[in-house]
Amino acid sequence: MARLALTLKLPFYRLNQVKALEFERLTALNTSVANELLLMEKKERSQLTSAAFHHIEISSNWINQTIRNTNARTKVKYFQRMWLETNNQSYELAKHGDFYTVSFNLLRGKKGRIPLSVHAASHTEILDKAIEKKAKLGSIKLCKSKKGIWYALISVSMEVPDAEEVKGWIGVDRGQNNIAVAALPKSFGKFWNGRKVKSLRRRFQQTRQALQQAKKLKKVKQIESRERRIITQINHEISKQLVRFAQDFHLGLRFEELTGCRQTMKQRKKTKSDAAKNRDSWAFYQLEIFTRYKAIRAGVPVQSVPAPYTSKSDHRHGVIGKREKHQFTGFDGYRCHADWNAAQNIGQWLGFACPLELQKVVSVMDAAVLGDGVDDSPLPSDASKTVVSTPS
């Protein structure tokens, strides 16, 4: 059984003004405690408990968690806001009719826990498992959105079935012109066009520039936050569709390993100045993370494979071809969509490698028969073995 950890964002249902103001006041008080701790020596504050703050009206279990959180943030010099947080022993989750309630006590010396209703949203299944003790509750954090809505963030961990064995893999190629291309083995592919994201990036960039010239820096931050939320939502939607796509055909998902790609991919200054083309703002990792945790819940296996030469190799036989924008051309004149070809290579990956200095046409997929290296991939020292003559 695999272990899945999630954080549920549950807005409070019809929270009255008195309770909202009390949350605000106690959060400010909790923040002052955290900043007071920062003024102490690290060795001294690591030995403190809630007894050192008996004069603070916040309950001791919340203060103890604040001390732990402050000690964990070793490089912070000042907290603008430290949200109230406590462990799973200090609150209760229950269901009354169609409503879910969270009960806790914030004040020191007060007995009993006050239940507050929360919106279950799309988390009813997980909340029911937590109430039935089939899922383990973690910590709870009280926080407020920029719109003034108070939420309870509850962490939950539960066991999910291991991913089923699959007979094939769907390769997923990520990019900017197409956010994602998922290709079935030697079959058609599904495209998610990046035109909308490019347009959004440019539009927000122009708005930020106008606001910066007008010295409205607070508004700039709001615009950046809005842009980030929109891109996050788009990645959530694509990740759901990717997992559904894999479930429909009973296949696994394969991504190319892109760790550190921002340091290896060269960009011109003119390219970086355009928000729609700048790879530094490309949320490729977020898309993979969203897809992975959704796939774990759905029992879909996910793998990562090396990225080199997936875009330059012909998916039919692995011979290096030529890529120009959206088109891939093989040595024999064969043409196909470049991103679809890359997705096919990712899905068919068998542990092949390619020499770094390419003097002639190289078959990278056929190199797996050499029996060297990881997953039968040839070692760099044996790169000369993989060179074949150029077809006439």
Instruction: Answer yes or no: is 88 within a domain.
Output: yes
CA distance 51 to 46: 13
**Minimal CA–CA distance to 252: which of 175, 160, 167?**
167
Instruction: Answer yes or no: is 362 within a domain.
Output: yes
Residues 140 and 181 in one domain: no
Residues 361 and 287 in one domain: no
pLDDT in tens, 199-235: 999 999 999 999 999 999 899 999 999 999 999 999 9
CA distance 189 to 186: 9
Strands of the sheet containing 114-118, edge to edge, are 91-96, 99-104, 114-118
Residues 10 and 147 in one domain: yes
Residues 245 and 146 in one domain: no
CA distance 329 to 56: 71
CA distance 228 to 184: 31
Residues 180 and 254 in one domain: yes
- Per-residue pLDDT at 13 exceeds 80: yes
CA distance 225 to 202: 15
Alpha carbon 344 to its chain's center: 24
In the structure encoding, which two tokens stand for residue 287, read together?
A: 């898309």
> Looking at residue 65, what is its pLDDT?
95
Percent of the chain with pLDDT over 90: 52
| More confident of the two residues 277 and 246 | 246
- Per-residue pLDDT at 361 exceeds 90: no
Residues 52 and 136 in one domain: yes
CA-CA-CA-CA torsion for 285, 292, 249, 240, nearest 10 degrees? -80
Instruction: Answer yes or no: is 40 within a domain.
Output: yes
The owner of tokens 């920062």 is: 38
CA distance 82 to 176: 37
Residues 109 and 143 in one domain: yes
Instruction: Answer yes or no: is 317 within a domain.
Output: no
Residue ending a domain, choose from 238, 272, 306: 306
Residues 206 and 294 in one domain: yes
Residues 6 and 153 in one domain: yes
How many CA atoms within 13 Å lie on the side-chain side of 171? 27
pLDDT in tens, 170-208: 999 998 889 999 999 988 899 999 899 999 999 999 999
Instruction: Answer yes or no: is 391 within a domain.
Output: no
CA distance 277 to 286: 18
Instruction: Answer yes or no: is 352 within a domain.
Output: yes
Task: List the domain range (segments joined by +) for residue 131.
Answer: 2-160
In the structure encoding, which two tokens stand for residue 198, read together?
A: 């490019």
Residues 7 and 153 in one domain: yes
Residue ending a domain, choose from 160, 191, 214: 160
Instruction: Answer yes or no: is 314 within a domain.
Output: no
**Minimal CA–CA distance to 247: which of 296, 304, 286?**
296
- Per-residue pLDDT at 110 exceeds 90: no
pLDDT in tens, 289-346: 999 989 988 889 999 988 888 888 888 888 888 888 889 998 888 999 999 999 999 9
> Looking at residue 324, what is its pLDDT?
87
pLDDT in tens, 37-62: 999 988 898 889 999 999 999 999 99
Q: How confident is the model at residue 365 (pLDDT cuts 50, 70, 90)?
A: very low
How many CA atoms within 13 Å lie on the side-chain side of 28? 5
Residues 187 and 289 in one domain: yes
Counting the structural domains of the chain, the total is: 3
Residues 279 and 374 in one domain: no
CA distance 364 to 388: 10
Over range 114-131, report the average pLDDT.
89
